[in-house]
Amino acid sequence: MKIRQPIITILGHVDHGKTTLLDKIRKTAVAQKEAGGITQHIGATEVPIEVIEKIAEPIRDILKFELKIPGLLFIDTPGHEAFSNLRKRGGSIADLAIVVIDINEGIMPQTKEAIEICKQFRVPFIIAANKIDKIPGWESREGSFIKNYQRQSDRAKQELENRVYNLVSQLYELGFESDIFFRIEDFRKTVAIVPVSAKTGEGIPELLLLTAGLAQRFLTKKLEIDENSPGKGVILEKKKDKGIYYLDVILYDGVIRKGDTIAFYGIEGPIITKVRGLFKAKPLTEIREKSNFIPVNEAHAAAGIRILTPENDKALAGSPLYVIRNNQSKILEQIKEEISSIVFEEKEGLVVKADTLGTLEAIVNILKSKGIKVSKAGIGEITKEDIIKAQSQKDEKYRVILAFNVSPIESPVPIIYDNVIYRLLEKYEEFLKQLEEQKK
Ligand code: GTP
Ligand code: NA
Ligand code: MG
């Protein structure tokens, strides 16, 4: 048994500072490279525990606990689509999420979306209340938030408290108890708010230490893996480079080797194929000069890897990916079963189309939890069959198509489009209201 690094996803509304925060964490970590450096993965950045210890040193007299995990693996493909592609059976491969909120703006549409998806996939999350350097009168500096807080004027402290209070009440409306991290007694019940500045680096020691602490306290069972078992992962993205499709995969369990037989889900069904090429990214310090990939013979979880197979063009982003050893029929059964709960067709209900498995699953789950039936859940553009299916619905409230992030087309049945899940659902509720009014 080995304990792998927890997988941490950074989420949040556009421009609230996700990328800047990750950049700052990377830079801070690279600056501490004498302590063990940092490892670059495909679509992920690994910060080893020695580096976290080093960064957190100034606050270790306040937050005392032993760190046992080997590090943190941050997924740096932010945005809700990439995040919902991190799905795996019954959950998400993200062990924890950091939801970045501009403290001066508060909760915005994509923040709500991010929190909704965390709820759906049962991913615990921490709030990074970012851009505290912009608070009137605040004097931000790199390092500990707690220590820097003491130096602020009463007015600046009050301005911060007001903003935190505002976040707490907004989160309460979304169904979550929350508080600033140092006032929390039970982290299972209360969402932690960590004030940070991605610009100055203030609060990063607290954010990293708290993330590591919570992950190892509440997720250790989930992090125990057998590093020689057949690899399990999910396809984060399908990328085309010089005419060749590569699969960027996050491996969350076991091992994958060049030459291995693997299975994943394609546009037309399950695919069994062989790993022809396996790549890792070069370490971060080198990647700054020239982005490059190193061919490797094997990779162990948790890791971000790039895979080349003859069937890559047919792969579906968000699909599970399994290494097959003596268990081909079992794995195929598993993939079919898993997919059939997401992509399916029944008699009565709405037609739902989405661009990825993760978003489709999230939408269908929310609809079902509201007692709304789904007659067809599918991936990709809207087809004639989808329209016929919607037209054939007896109940008027089901004679409509919900389309997430797919191209608009001419249709005799109404189609509701959006690329934010909860807005799509709001629009459908609006549609239902209009139906009611027409009846009056
Ligand atoms: P998307 O990926 O487009 O959703 O945005 P993002 O959340 O990754 O935000 P990004 O990191 O691109 O930051 C958006 C802008 O906010 C940039 O101009 C950053 O320089 C700025 N910014 C981010 N964090 C901070 C901060 O802590 N303080 C200040 N003053 N500016 C910040
Ligand atoms: Na941005
Ligand atoms: Mg960004």
What is this model's ipTM? Answer: 0.99
Q: Give, using CA atoms, the residue closest to atom 29 of ligand 1.
A: 131
Q: Which is more confident, 257 or 380?
A: 257
Q: At what angle do helices 49-56 and 18-31 cross, to 10 degrees?
A: 90
Q: What is the pLDDT of residue 404?
A: 94
pLDDT in tens, 278-293: 999 877 655 455 567 8
pLDDT at 1 (0 to 100):
83
* pLDDT band for position 83 (cuts 50, 70, 90): low
Mutate to test the pocket of ligand 1, among 14, 15, 83 (most ligand atoms within 8 A of CB): 15
pLDDT score for 201:
96
- Distance of CA 21 from the midpoint of ligand 3 (Å): 9
Name the least confident of 149-153, 381-385, 422-426: 422-426
Residue 90 is predicted with a pLDDT of 57
Residue 290 is predicted with a pLDDT of 58
Strands (E), 174-319: 177-180, 190-195, 224-225, 232-241, 244-253, 255-257, 261-266, 269-274, 277-281, 293-295, 298-300, 303-308
Report pLDDT for 37: 65
The predicted pLDDT at position 35 comes to: 52
Question: Is 426:370 a contact under the CB 8 Å cutoff?
Answer: no
DSSP secondary structure, 103-159, as one string = TTT---HHHHHHHHHHHHTT--EEEEEE-GGGSTT----SB-HHHHHTTS-HHHHHH
Q: What is the reported pLDDT for 400?
A: 97
Ligand 3 center to residue 348 CA distance, Å?
40
Packed helices 49-56 and 204-218: angle between N→C axes, nearest 10 degrees:
130
Instruction: Determine the Cα–Cα distance for residues 40 and 25; give it in Å rounded to an integer.
Output: 13
- Any binding-site annotation on 132? yes
pLDDT(262) > 90: yes
Which comes out higher in pLDDT, residue 338 or 188? 188
Both tokens of 397, joined, read 């409230």
Ligand in closest contact with the CA of 21: 1
Q: What predicted TM-score, i.e. pTM, was given to this entire model?
A: 0.86
**Ion ligand 2 neighbours, Cβ < 5 Å:** 15
Tell me which of 19, 148, 420 to substitute to probe ligand 1's pocket, judged by most ligand atoms within 8 Å of the beta carbon.
Answer: 19
Which ligand has the nearest atom to the CA of 79? 1
Instruction: Name 165's Cβ contacts closer than 8 Å, sequence gap at least 6.
Output: none
Q: Is 130 annotated as a binding residue?
A: yes
Is 19 part of any known ligand binding site? yes
Please report the pLDDT score of residue 278 as a whole number: 97
pLDDT digits (tens, 9 = 90+) for 28-73: 877 766 555 677 787 788 998 988 998 998 898 887 888 899 999 9
Residue 18 Cα to ligand 3 middle (Å): 5
Q: Tell me the CA–centroid distance for residue 340 and ligand 3, in Å.
A: 33
80 annotated ligand binder: yes
